[in-house]
């Protein structure tokens, strides 16, 4: 039986919120079996501070994924942390925050993977529940699309196409295992374009963005002094976002996802379409995960070592 996992001990970190620019503290705590991932706002007095991390609690998808509850309490920019929890196999956890946004850290999921490793994991005496995709589901918006089809494991394909020569056309195919996520996906940082910064900040977004937590493109050049961590870091980050958004399904997916120039909105719309069709999915508990993930294939190869990551236990 594949058992559920949670943290062995709690662990904390502090960082800047990407969009508000405020400093925020976060603590990852063990969760009880069958409770899933739950965010808790410690700055909210009284009830209504908890928000289960599920697809039907997504209330906004502009530039990030935001969760909310019936009391109007929200937590935004959850996708990188959710991706790290998915890639580390964490089923149950309580995520305490003293503000409305998860810290961006270095713009990737690697600091959160590091936190999980520092806290350690422990198996729980309950079987892990997977969501098996039974038939193809696709959502489209012009040239953007997201789809998921049946598969024995969880695999992700992604295609992007930007006018900037620094990004251009990139494609990747990843068979998602814990080590694959950590080594080939987790360190890919969020990215943006310098000419869009003023408009984003006028809209109250990206106030905490900097070269320390994002890849910034100006014209056809990456202006970060240390360059890219992967030659195709841009498309790898889109995979990271998709892994995090799709973990809001409430468990590990058994299916093959394909995103084409899509983002947070399409990822959530796809989950809503999947769960709206009762014939398209089922829950499954497995004695062993007989997945045969494909070897990661990219248009380019290469890896550039990134900065060190620190945390407090």
State the catalytic residues: 264
As a whole number of angstroms, the distance between CA 263 and CA 184 comes to 19
Residues 6+ apart with CB under 8 A from 190: 18, 80, 104, 107, 108, 213, 214, 215, 237
Contact in structure between 30 and 7 (CB atoms under 8 Å)? yes
Contact in structure between 202 and 12 (CB atoms under 8 Å)? no
Residue 278: exposure state from Cβ atoms within 10 A (0-12, 13-18, ≥19): exposed
Q: Specify the pairing of strand 297-298 against strand 169-175.
A: antiparallel
Sign of CA dihedral 31, 290, 113, 74: negative
Distances (CA, A) of 185 to 102, 104, 232: 19, 16, 11
Element (H, E) at 293: none
Contact in structure between 79 and 135 (CB atoms under 8 Å)? no
Sign of CA dihedral 256, 170, 86, 247: negative
């Amino acid at each position: 039986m594949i058992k559920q996992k949670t943290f062995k001990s709690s662990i904390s970190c502090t960082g800047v919120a990407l969009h508000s620019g405020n400093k925020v503290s976060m603590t990852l705590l063990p969760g009880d079996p069958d409770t899933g991932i739950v965010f808790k706002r410690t700055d909210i007095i009284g009830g209504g501070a908890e928000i289960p991390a599920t697809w039907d609690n997504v209330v906004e998808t502009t530039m990030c994924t935001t969760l909310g509850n019936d009391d109007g309490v929200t937590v935004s920019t959850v996708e990188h942390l959710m991706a790290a929890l998915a890639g580390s196999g964490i089923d149950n956890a309580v995520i305490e925050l003293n503000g409305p946004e998860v810290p961006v850290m270095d713009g990737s999921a690697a600091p959160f993977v590091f936190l999980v490793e520092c806290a350690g994991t422990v198996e729980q005496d309950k079987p892990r529940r997977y969501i098996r995709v039974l038939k193809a589901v696709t959502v489209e918006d012009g040239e953007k699309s997201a789809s998921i089809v049946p598969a024995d494991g969880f695999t992700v394909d992604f295609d992007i196409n930007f006018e900037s020569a620094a990004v251009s056309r990139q494609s990747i195919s990843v068979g998602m295992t814990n080590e694959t996520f950590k080594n080939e996906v987790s360190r890919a940082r969020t990215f943006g374009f310098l000419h869009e910064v003023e408009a984003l900040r006028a809209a109250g977004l990206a106030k905490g963005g900097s070269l320390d937590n994002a890849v910034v493109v100006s014209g056809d050049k990456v202006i970060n002094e240390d360059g890219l961590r992967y030659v195709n870091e841009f498309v790898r980050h889109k995979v990271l976002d998709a892994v995090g958004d799709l973990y809001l399904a409430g468990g590990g997916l058994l299916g093959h996802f394909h995103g084409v120039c899509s983002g947070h909105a399409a990822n959530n719309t796809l989950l809503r379409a999947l769960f709206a069709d009762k014939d398209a999915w089922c829950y499954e508990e497995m004695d062993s995960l007989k997945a045969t993930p494909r070897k990661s294939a990219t248009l380019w190869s290469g890896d550039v070592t990134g900065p060190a990551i620190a945390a407090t236990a």
